[in-house]
Chain A
Amino acid sequence: QSALTQPASVSGSPGQSITISCTGTSSDIRGYNSVSWYQQHPGKAPKLMIYEVSDRPSGVSNRFSGSKSGNTASLTISGLQAEDEADYYCSSYTISNTLVFGGGTKLTVL
């Protein structure tokens, strides 16, 4: 199972919006709504930000939103804040009853 494809890096200024894409195949993202997004700060464990494509866990800011179209899922962060600077990973359930992660995207807040 190859990793899902994410841009290596994205950047934005405080207050702006950014979108991170996550592209898979019909065997993972297209076929399942079990797509989730994780935020990881250096030296820390990942934190769930979005689950089941577009749902937000309690405690996660409504500035974070998710969507999916075909083989591609997306994470949008609006009103960028300095604390959003981190690595972001998507993951998807697969047809083989396994999980796959994306390559990760480093978000820089300028």
Chain B
Amino acid sequence: QIQLVQSGAEVRNPGASLKVSCEASGYTFTSYRIHWVRQAPGQRLEWMGWINTGNGDTIYSQTFQGRISITRDTSASTVYMELSSLRSEDTAVYYCARWGPYFDYWGQGTLVTVSS
């Protein structure tokens, strides 16, 4: 069955960086884009960016430009999202989701806490 399995919860200090992984299984990895979406506590879903898993092309939300990098390892069917210069407002659950062209499968979410 199709699954997206994300890495576990993280705690970071302000100013640090973060890298969350999303391992896909059950389908041809390079046939679907993977997006990242986050949700701060009690807040709305916020789109962050996507990667074309076939050729590695990326597009990012202007909100995160300069701080975000999405990469993939096709041999491991895994997508990575790296966010730098973390601040307290980045505390959120981060989701990866498969784009088909709609979000048909989601990861379980990774809770990231930014606190000193």
Contact = CB atoms under 8 A, between A and B. Distances in A.
B50 A104 contact: no
Contacts of A69: none
> Secondary structure of the B side of the interface?
strand
Interface stretch (B20-28, B74-82, B106-114): B106-114
A57 B50 CA distance: 22
Interface stretch (B8-16, B41-49, B84-92): B41-49
Contacts, number: 55
Given A45-B95, A45-B109, A97-B59, A36 B45 contact: no
Interface residues of A, number: 25
Interface string A71-110: 0000000000000000001010100111111111000000
Interface residues of B, number: 20
A91 B39 CA distance: 14
B61 A48 contact: no
A98 B44 contact: no
A34 interface: yes
24 contacts: A1-B61, A1-B62, A36-B103, A45-B95, A45-B106, A45-B107, A45-B109, A47-B106, A48-B103, A48-B104, A51-B101, A51-B102, A57-B104, A91-B47, A93-B101, A97-B59, A99-B47, A100-B47, A101-B37, A101-B47, A102-B44, A103-B44, A104-B44, A104-B45
